[in-house]
Amino acid sequence: MDASQKRSPTPLLGVLISGRGSNLKAIIDAIGDGRLDARIAVVISNRADAPGLEHARAAGIETLVISHRAHAAREDYDRALVAELQKRGVALVCLAGFMRVLSPAFVDAYPNRILNIHPSLLPKYPGLHPQQQALDDGATVSGATVHFVNKDLDAGPVVLQREVPVLPGDTADTLAARILQVEHTLYPEAIAAVINQG
């Protein structure tokens, strides 16, 4: 058997977004230049106007818009997402600025197979406005975290974290921009680590 026959099939990712999609673009670029051995099977947005959808379209990746407004119950919405992901054989789900809390209907369908990126050093500053939380706390260091998603918001096991300095005069926006640069290398690295762990 030669090396190509031994290699396991390329892992299929599903990326969920709600907005800008710069982390999605970073994942697309990492796959493109060989830092990440994976394929994005589908990008799903809950918002039709999410600018990040353009990154997927430009890369020839299938996109779906599934609006949460079309589903009365959170579980029904999550089941609809899971059905589309499973239909495409998605093995690892990457949340990239997806502004929806996942219910057990989703988390139980992909146990230890959902990742999220958050712009703080969790468990510090979970939830909304983590950069402002860091400034309000007088922190001199914040950062970014990629973690597994479980039923508790921003509290699943950490895969990778990286520190980012908080500088004098920072606003939430300047700190967010500095953290975002780090997110763009951290997320592909974390996805690769999870894939390599098997």
Site residues for ligand GRF per CB under 6 A: 17, 19-23, 52, 96-97, 117-119, 180, 183
Cβ nearer to ligand GRF, comparing 44 with 117: 117
Strand pairing of 63-65 and 141-148?
unpaired
Q: CB of 7: closest distance to ligand GRF in angstroms?
A: 30
Cβ burial 144-160 (10 Å sphere, 16+ → b, else e): bbbbbbbeeebebeebb
Cβ nearer to ligand GRF, comparing 32 with 89: 32
Q: CB of 51: closest distance to ligand GRF in angstroms?
A: 8
Based on the number of CB atoms within 10 Å of its own CB, is 73 exposed (0-12), middle (13-18) or buried (19 or more)? exposed
Cβ nearer to ligand GRF, comparing 9 with 54: 54
CA atoms within 13 A on the CB side of 126: 12
- Selecting among 55, 68, 71, 118, the annotated active-site residue is 118
Q: CB of 185: closest distance to ligand GRF in angstroms?
A: 13
Beta-carbon count within 10 A of 141 CB: 11
Give the active site residues: 118
